[in-house]
Structure 1
Amino acid sequence: MPRYFFNVFYGRTTTDHVGEEFPDQDATWKEATVLAGQILQGLHGDLVPGREWRVEVTDEFGNRLFILRIHAEVP
């Protein structure tokens, strides 16, 4: 089963060195959206305007497959 890695960027980089196995990219996408929601919830409202927050999903060869990006701003 392929292994996928979920790297988080928000002020600093949190690199996933372990990864997780999923049967396909659809299952990986679903996990990425769940993970992103959980991490954002864990910020407890501390997302800072003007800074980008993102999760990048890569495959076992380092190819970027998905990027979930949140950019908070004050109009």
Structure 2
Amino acid sequence: MPIFFFSVRNGEHGDICNAGAEFPDRNAAWKEMTGVCSDMVAEVSRKLGENTEWQMELLDESRKPVFRIRLVAESLDQAGALAAAPIKQVAGSKR
């Protein structure tokens, strides 16, 4: 059976679990990854800083990424300011 490894990154800090896990195929590995991720996401999101990213990857035997789940926290202040800016009226148009 193929061996997969989990990698978790929080911002700039990451870690690969050196204990590989055997799964019959990619679908079984994906199912396990989503289950583990769902168990972690509530705690992770409570600690996630503004403009940071948390991600979990499933790596194959050669430690190349097969799947990735990302949780991104973005500040939208600038975008919000642009959305609230008044719209310039084009000459001859009515509003």
TM-score class, shorter-chain normalisation, is: 0.7 to 0.9
Note the aligned Cα RMSD (angstroms). 1.4
Q: Which runs of 5+ in 2 are unaligned?
A: 77-95
Q: Does 1:29 align with 2:30?
A: yes
Query: SS where residue 37 of structure 1 aligns?
Result: helix
Greater radius of gyration (CA): 2
Q: Percent sequence identity over matched residues?
A: 35
Q: TM-score scaled to structure 2, two decimals?
A: 0.71
The alignment covers a number of residue pairs equal to 75
Deviations 1:35-62 (A, max 9, x none): 1112222336111120010011111112
Runs of 4+ in 1 over 3 A off after TM superposition: none
Q: Highest relative contact order (Cα 8 Å, sep 6+), 1 or 2?
A: 1
Q: Which runs of 5+ in 1 are unaligned?
A: none
- Residue-by-residue CA offset, 1:8-52 (whole Å, 9 max, x unaligned): 000311211012110000011111111111222233611112001
TM-score scaled to structure 1, two decimals? Answer: 0.87
Structure with greater helix percent: 2
